[in-house]
Amino acid sequence: MLDRARAGKFAYPAVNVTSLTTANAVLKGLADSKSDGIIQVSTGGAAFASGSSVKDMVLGAISIADHVHRVADRYPIYVALHTDHCQANKLDSFVLPLVEETERRRAAGKPNLFSSHMFDGSALPLKENLDIAVKLLERFRKDDLILEIEAGVVGGEEDGIKASASAKLYTTPEDTLEVASRLNAIQGRYLLAATFGNVHGVYKPGHVKLKPSILKDCQDAVIAKYGDPARFDFVFHGGSGSDIRDIHEALDYGVVKMNVDTDMQYAFTRAVADHFFKNYDGVLKVDGEVGNKKAYDPRGYLTSAESAMAARVKQAAQELRATGTTMMQ
Ligand SMILES: [Zn+2]
């Protein structure tokens, strides 16, 4: 999938999910687009998926991945499973147990649980970030797992984790050369979230200044030093709310995965709000009435929410030039 995106200058939508319904929405949106794509789970999303009293990130992530492994067979596209931002202090309680689960599955002749995992060491000095990344990539290579790392910091807030005001929002070519010098010799596959002013969440126009040309500078530097095969596979974090021109420019410079969470959350909730406002007397027992079971059965509004989110996934695939690119014949 990554080679195909790299050659075709398009990117896969990587959509955060937290439930069966949101996972199903992504599958439907991708299938409607004839595009392969990526379903991803954050630490908070995984804990949520395990149930609000259990709050077990690993269990929730396995549960969602198991569901996707089973139902994806019914959709005529490929979907990769990924885990999102995991800081160094959570590797032992999130990513590594999931890698062990994959290793158990491989030993039993089953496919990997997840296709890829992100290690977000962007809060650490680059050397420490890469020391950890090197160890992970060496292990991931043996397991056919892909590693995503981050150099530079994505602004804004995700999963309650907020970037500091002094954070380095723009990666430099020197940083990415250091990434290539440490990781390329390992011969594993990795994705690089280089930051070019990206911010998690959606803000009013003018608040976020994206500079996709930074990606080009990084790409030019690595090709000049290590040749064309060293070209990076970039990840665009904080894709929600981005201008289409910035998105297309980023694709031209090697972005193969764009994370979209906030726009999906809104599409989902917008449909639920629509249902509740239109069916006020049905979803509530007003003035001694009994409401309308058809209106308050969660399946009704969750089906609308699934469709609305699927439509937003379809739009993302279109914006990322992924429509019609599936490898499934
Ligand atoms: Zn992110």
Q: Which of 36, 66, 84, 243 is catalytic?
A: 84
Ligand 1 centroid–CA 168 distance in Å is 15
CA 151 – CA 177 distance, rounded (Å): 11
Give bridge partners of residue 150 from the DSSP assignment: 193
Q: Is the pLDDT of residue 166 over 70?
A: no
- Pairing mode, if any, of strands 161-162 and 155-158? antiparallel
3-class DSSP assignment, residue 58: helix
Task: Count the residues in the chain.
Answer: 329
CA–centroid distance, residue 130 to ligand 1 (Å): 18
Q: How confident is the model over 81-138, as pLDDT tens digits?
A: 999 999 999 999 999 999 999 999 999 999 999 999 999 999 999 999 999 999 999 9
- CA dist list (Å): 294 to 290, 299, 300: 12, 9, 7
Å from CA of 85 to ligand 1 middle:
6
Which pLDDT value is given to residue 66?
98
In the reported structure, the alpha carbon of residue 230 is separated from the centroid of ligand 1 by a whole-number distance in angstroms of 23
Q: Is the pLDDT of residue 290 over 80?
A: yes
d(CA 267, CA 276): 15
Q: Which residues contact 321 (CB under 8 A, 6 or more apart)?
A: 8, 9, 10, 11, 248, 251
CB atoms inside a 10 Å sphere around CB 91:
19
Name the pairing type of β-strands 199-200 and 190-194: unpaired
Share of the chain above pLDDT 90, in %: 88
The 10s digit of each residue's pLDDT in 211-257 is 999 999 999 999 999 999 999 999 999 888 899 999 999 999 999 99
Average the pLDDT over 76-84 and give the result. 98
- Tell me the pLDDT band of 154, cut-offs 50, 70 and 90: confident
How many whole angstroms from 161 Cα to the centroid of ligand 1? 10
Q: What is the mean pLDDT of residues 139-152?
A: 96
Q: Ligand 1 centroid to 327 CA: how many Å?
A: 26
Active site residue 84: yes
The mean pLDDT value of the chain amounts to 95
Mean pLDDT of 288-308: 97
